[in-house]
Amino acid sequence: MSSNTESDLPRPHPEPWPLVASAHWLEAAEKRMPGTTSSMMKRPEQFCPGSFPGFLAQGKGALVEDVDGNQYIDFICGLGASSLGHRHPAVESAVLRAVEAGWLHSLPTPLEQEAAEAVIASVPGAEMVRFFKTGADATSAAVRLARAITGREKILTVGYNGWHDHFMYDTPGVPKAVAELSQRLPLFTEPEEAQALATLEAQGSELAAIVLSLPYNRRVTAQFLNELCALTRKHGALLVFDEIVTGYRLGAGGAQELYGVQADLVCVSKALAAGLPLSAILGSKALLEQMERLQVSTTFGGETLSLAACVAALEVYRTTSYYEHIATLGRNLREGVGRVAEEVGAPLRVLGYDPIPLFAFSPKLELHIPLMRTLQGHMARRGVLLRRDVNFISGVHTQTQIDFTVNAVRSSLIEMRLAGAFSQS
């Protein structure tokens, strides 16, 4: 989608690499905010503290700049929400037009209906939609709707579906009684597919829903998803696809289209509005219209800036080579990193789906995290920002940036090898 030019690359960092302003803001944040930030995945410990920028000041395209003026190629992409990079012209223009008309009105606006039509058209099987602000809002609405429809209370969850009690039932502050109504299933390996199906078969008659977020470290089998669909229908439970991350990345119709399956409810967010706060739950009219009797509401569901961004982003996805572009660059990144890792003798691999590449040194977290944290620090010094697991290709990343990143990985892995980093892996 973007041309390959030298301007796609970050400015070389000065030596010594200054992170003075980042340190200043981090010190202030430690006094003012628990965890230093509102997002758990943006905390310093998720990266390489002391060797990683703590605060960003601005971004344009696939490049971001920290508060010290250092530039980076951004593969964090707002935790996957910035699907079209930063300040995409089509999205920015739509938002600015919405600003001129006012961003939160006292009654619904036609823009809400325009966005509804665009989103419904993008999700297979969808006939109605309700908007919220975060992914956890949408998945929680799906749980309540499933319980209301089925008259049952228990749910199965797969992956991270949000921070609300029925998903994070085993964390501090959640009543013990909630744990009796939820069960989280792992799906990191193929044998766990059979275990999940067995659990669904055994408990199906008691379940309101299974909420499924696809694992990022591997592709599940189509057979598994088809059997999952069949079992939920057999037992009268609802199948909820949590496509907060995978939606508008795996293909035009998301996981449903990719695998040829049909969920009862689909939840989307992140790329839905290309970085602005918007989420949605979609499904058939027979199911979604029952939300009208539930106490599920939000003041900001009709906020126009995000709805305008949504309409603009979906149009970009629909009319450009966006899906092909992010898949191609992701595949090139995976193959390039795998090649240099083999050359260097490092255990690093890139797994999962090409548009959302997951970096992995080892399936054992106690081995992976220290190595990945070190790599994050080396890569940041070379002008590339990575998460310690799943990363994201945006519609404005270029092949030039992929090549730059692969070369930076090679240099970083060589430096790590010389320091003896791989002796215990």
188-226 tens-digit pLDDT: 999 999 999 999 999 999 999 999 999 999 999 999 999
Q: Is residue 329 domain-shared with residue 305, that is, in the same domain?
A: no
**DSSP state, 27?**
H
Q: Is residue 29 domain-shared with residue 95, that is, in the same domain?
A: no
Element (H, E) at 23: helix 20-32
Q: State the CB neighbour count (10 A cutoff) for residue 306.
A: 26
Residue 4 scores a pLDDT above 50: no
Instruction: Give the E-state strand segments of 147-291 in sequence order.
Output: 154-158, 182-185, 207-212, 238-243, 265-268, 279-283
Q: Is residue 107 domain-shared with residue 226, that is, in the same domain?
A: yes
pLDDT at 396: 98
Q: Is residue 192 domain-shared with residue 61, that is, in the same domain?
A: no
Give the C-alpha separation, 275 to 84, whole Å: 8
Whether the Cβ atoms of residue 134 and residue 329 lie closer than 8 Å to each other: no
Residue 264 scores a pLDDT above 60: yes
Is residue 47 a part of any domain in this protein?
yes
Assessment of whether the complete model's pTM goes beyond 0.75: yes
Q: Is residue 313 domain-shared with residue 325, that is, in the same domain?
A: no
Give the C-alpha separation, 153 to 353, whole Å: 33
Q: Is residue 17 domain-shared with residue 146, that is, in the same domain?
A: no
Q: Is residue 11 domain-shared with residue 156, that is, in the same domain?
A: no
**DSSP state, 65?**
E
pLDDT at 184: 95
Provide mean pLDDT across the span 255-260.
94
What six digits make up the tokens of 96?
């600015």
Is residue 423 a part of any domain in this protein?
no
Q: What is the pLDDT of residues 229-251, one digit of tens each?
A: 999 999 999 999 999 999 999 99
Q: Is residue 315 domain-shared with residue 336, that is, in the same domain?
A: no
Three-class secondary structure of residue 156 per DSSP: strand
Last residue of a domain, one of 304, 319, 334: 319
Q: How confident is the model at residue 7 (pLDDT cuts 50, 70, 90)?
A: confident
Give the C-alpha separation, 140 to 211, whole Å: 10
Three-class secondary structure of residue 264 per DSSP: coil
**DSSP state, 170?**
T
Give the C-alpha separation, 351 to 289, whole Å: 39
Q: Is residue 236 domain-shared with residue 110, that is, in the same domain?
A: yes
Q: What is the pLDDT of residues 46-78, one digit of tens each?
A: 999 999 999 999 999 999 999 999 999 999 999
pLDDT at 14: 87
What six digits make up the tokens of 225?
């998803």
pLDDT at 27: 92
Last residue of a domain, one of 319, 354, 378: 319
Is residue 84 a part of any domain in this protein?
no
Provide mean pLDDT across the span 334-349.
97
Give the C-alpha separation, 25 to 20, whole Å: 9
CATH code for the domain of 21: 3.90.1150.10
Is residue 143 a part of any domain in this protein?
yes
Is residue 413 a part of any domain in this protein?
yes
CATH code for the domain of 295: 3.40.640.10
Residue 147 scores a pLDDT above 80: yes
pLDDT at 1: 62
Count of the separate structural domains present in the chain: 2
User: How many CA atoms lie less than 13 Å away from 244 in the CB half-sphere?
Assistant: 25
Is residue 425 a part of any domain in this protein?
no
Last residue of a domain, one of 297, 319, 341: 319
Give the C-alpha separation, 265 to 47, whole Å: 34
Provide mean pLDDT across the span 280-284.
98
Provide mean pLDDT across the span 129-137.
97
pLDDT at 423: 85
Give the C-alpha separation, 80 to 75, whole Å: 8
pLDDT at 15: 84
Q: Is residue 255 domain-shared with residue 359, that is, in the same domain?
A: no
Is residue 79 a part of any domain in this protein?
no
Give the C-alpha separation, 11 to 222, whole Å: 44
Q: Is residue 282 domain-shared with residue 144, that is, in the same domain?
A: yes
Which residues span the domain enclosing 170?
89-319
Q: Is residue 326 domain-shared with residue 379, that is, in the same domain?
A: yes
pLDDT at 16: 84
* More confident site: 228 or 16: 228
Whether the Cβ atoms of residue 207 and residue 155 lie closer than 8 Å to each other: yes
Is residue 237 a part of any domain in this protein?
yes
Q: How confident is the model at residue 304 (pLDDT cuts 50, 70, 90)?
A: very high
Which is nearest to 391 in space by CA: 22, 48, 36, 82?
82
